[in-house]
């Protein structure tokens, strides 16, 4: 049957519009099927172009071109139109058009500062994607992150490197499943069990101090940030598996640290394009690296399972494997490994970056450093055998130490922009304070921007001022606005960072010990602006170098 060229064009346009309609309605639930339709549907108008083209290939090219141009034009018009459910929220045009805007921001490593600038320009709600908003307002914290909050957002689909039915706890999006699986973790990180990890921490901290003292030289700087990474990975591997990494003594001989850091960068891109994640991990370079990492972690995990006991006190695996709970069966090996490995990854880079930032600020503010050293010396006199690591619980009572840690976490939260949630599928949407967020919308609450909001932290929200966190009658806090409810460096609510107690313990004891044991200063030719400029947002912060001159402190 002969079809006019005009009608053939209309059929291709109709195909493109139909594809957009189907994606708009079913993308969240049937992405795989719709992706196949993208290939199959244009074949219908292609058949109608056969009589108007010199070859079948030409007919296919014309049909697919018209169909896809129509689809992209329709998508663009809809996303910029007043008919889009998020049209009333301001934001960059490119961000409203495509997630490729987010990909570019990730490429720059400056998503955190971009979000801060957008909120300062547009206000508390900014549209940062075709179906995504960023909310910088304290009133959104409980509705989004609280006990009756929302499940995790779609970025977690793109952060999964393997197509499997079992994911590490952090990647579980469904609230009920997440809370059920988290019970074991909550038990592993309660007060009594965290105390059981102290011997592991002491052993690694002694090694760090000894190593730094041996490398101390008044004229040759060392990269303190790198040593904090080595320490954090060694400690978390000990706490999770009972060992396996020896970065402080051997360096990265297995290449694990390098693969981990590269993996974080790749996931920072794939989180914006979940459909592309499987293709990324099939690329030769990524496939080889991922296989090497899985094999390395598999060997460590297998050794821990075969040992059937922690080497020093108890470790996280004692809980994950049910060794201290006779009523619970040990999980399959394929379920144990992702969760144990999660603790190593999630607890290493984040803590190392915060420690590095703390010492950057301390070494930039010598008056604050001296005040902290005096506070620690008063609590743990240097001429006494009792050290900060011998009474870790007392460190929680030192006001300036904890104010410095809080102020660093405020300025450089470990996850600066990636706290994302979304309304429950099938719910239609959710009221967040005075606004209604439709189903299918990703909601970000960016700690980096929230912590620098003048409504909650003033004056000088971009400045390091530990006095914000000191008691009300402290002179340094006069005229300061500090809103603890807006302080969410570990997220908030029932799906917050489960390792928060260990992280706080680690930060306190490492800072107190090094400040008391070492004399440090920034390398003289190093520009201080380099530190914050060097921080890159790849879901967690990736840090640069922190060159420091150090030597053992003389008492």
Q: Is residue 497 part of an annotated ligand binding site?
A: yes
For residue 285, cis peptide bond before it (omega within 30 degrees of 0): no
As a dihedral over the C-alpha atoms of residue 318, residue 322, residue 327, residue 332, rounded to 10 degrees, the angle is -170
3-class secondary structure, 129: strand
Instruction: Return all residues near 386 (Cβ < 8 A) that are at least 6 apart.
Output: 380
Q: Beta-carbon neighbour count of residue 285 at 10 Å?
A: 9
CB 316 within 8 A of CB 238: no
Structural tokens at position 140: 């959104």
Least Cα distance to 17 among 75, 85, 99, 84 occurs for 75
Percent of the chain that is helix, strand, coil (3-state, to 5) = 60, 10, 30
Number of H helices, E strands in the chain: 25, 13
CB 484 within 8 A of CB 381: no
d(CA 208, CA 205): 5
Sign of CA pseudo-dihedral 203, 350, 217, 519 = negative
Instruction: Return all residues near 47 (Cβ < 8 A) that are at least 6 apart.
Output: 59
d(CA 555, CA 302): 46
How many degrees, rounded to 5, is the angle at CA 18 between CA 14 and CA 23?
150
Where residue 4 falls (left for φ over 0; alpha for ψ -120 to 50; beta otherwise) is: beta
Q: Enter the DSSP assignment of 543.
A: P
Structural tokens at position 460: 């000088």
Q: How many residues does the chain have?
A: 555
d(CA 134, CA 144): 12
Residue set of the binding site? 497
Residue set of the binding site for heme? 497
């Amino acid at each position: 049957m002969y079809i006019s060229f005009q009608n053939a064009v209309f059929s291709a346009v109709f195909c493109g519009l139909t594809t957009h309609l189907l994606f708009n309605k079913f993308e969240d639930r049937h992405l795989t099927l719709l992706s196949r339709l993208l290939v199959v549907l244009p074949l219908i108008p292609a058949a109608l172009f056969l009589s108007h083209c010199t070859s079948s290939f030409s007919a296919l090219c014309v049909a697919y071109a018209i169909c896809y141009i129509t689809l992209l034009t329709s998508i663009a018009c809809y996303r910029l139109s007043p008919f889009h459910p998020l049209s009333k929220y301001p934001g960059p045009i490119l961000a409203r058009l495509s997630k490729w805007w987010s990909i570019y921001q990730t490429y720059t490593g400056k998503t955190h500062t971009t979000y801060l600038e957008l909120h300062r320009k547009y206000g508390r709600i900014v549209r940062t994607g075709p179906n995504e908003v960023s909310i910088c307002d304290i009133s959104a914290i409980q509705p989004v992150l609280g006990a009756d909050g929302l499940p995790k957002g779609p970025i977690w689909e793109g952060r999964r490197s393997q197509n499997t039915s079992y994911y590490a706890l952090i990647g579980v999006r469904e609230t009920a499943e997440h809370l059920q699986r988290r019970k074991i973790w909550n038990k592993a990180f309660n007060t009594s069990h965290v105390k059981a990890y102290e011997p592991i921490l002491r052993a690694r901290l002694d090694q760090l101090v000894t190593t730094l003292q041996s490398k101390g030289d008044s004229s040759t700087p060392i990269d303190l940030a790198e040593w904090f990474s080595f320490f954090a990975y060694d400690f978390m591997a000990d706490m999770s598996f009972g060992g396996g990494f020896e970065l402080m003594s051997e360096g990265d001989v297995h290449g694990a640290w390098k693969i981990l850091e590269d993996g974080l960068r790749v996931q920072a891109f794939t989180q914006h394009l979940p459909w592309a994640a499987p293709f990324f991990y099939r690329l030769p370079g990524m496939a080889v690296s991922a296989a090497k990492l899985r094999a390395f972690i598999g060997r460590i995990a297998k050794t821990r399972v075969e040992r059937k006991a922690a080497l020093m006190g108890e470790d996280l695996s004692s809980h994950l494997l049910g060794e201290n709970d006779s009523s619970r069966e040990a999980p399959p090996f394929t379920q144990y490994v992702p969760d144990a490995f999660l603790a190593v990854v999630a607890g290493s880079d984040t803590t190392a970056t915060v420690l590095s930032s703390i010492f950057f600020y301390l070494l930039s503010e010598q008056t604050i450093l001296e005040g902290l050293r005096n506070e620690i010396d008063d609590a743990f006199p240097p001429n006494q055998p009792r050290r900060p690591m011998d009474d870790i619980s007392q460190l929680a009572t030192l006001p300036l130490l904890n104010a410095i840690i809080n102020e660093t976490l405020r300025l450089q939260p470990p996850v600066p922009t990636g706290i994302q949630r979304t309304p429950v599928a099938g719910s239609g949407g959710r009221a967040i304070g005075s606004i209604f967020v439709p189903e299918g919308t990703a909601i970000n609450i960016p700690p980096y921007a929230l912590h620098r909001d003048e409504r909650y932290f003033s004056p000088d929200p971009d400045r390091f001022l530990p006095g914000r966190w000191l008691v009300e009658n402290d002179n340094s806090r006069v005229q300061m606005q500090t809103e603890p409810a807006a302080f969410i460096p570990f997220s908030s609510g029932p799906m917050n960072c489960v390792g928060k107690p260990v992280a706080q313990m680690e930060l306190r004891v490492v800072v107190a010990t090094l400040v008391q044991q070492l004399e440090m200063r920034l390398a003289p030719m190093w520009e201080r602006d380099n530190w914050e400029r060097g921080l890159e947002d790849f879901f967690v912060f990736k840090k640069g170098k922190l060159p420091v001159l150090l030597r053992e402190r003389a008492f």
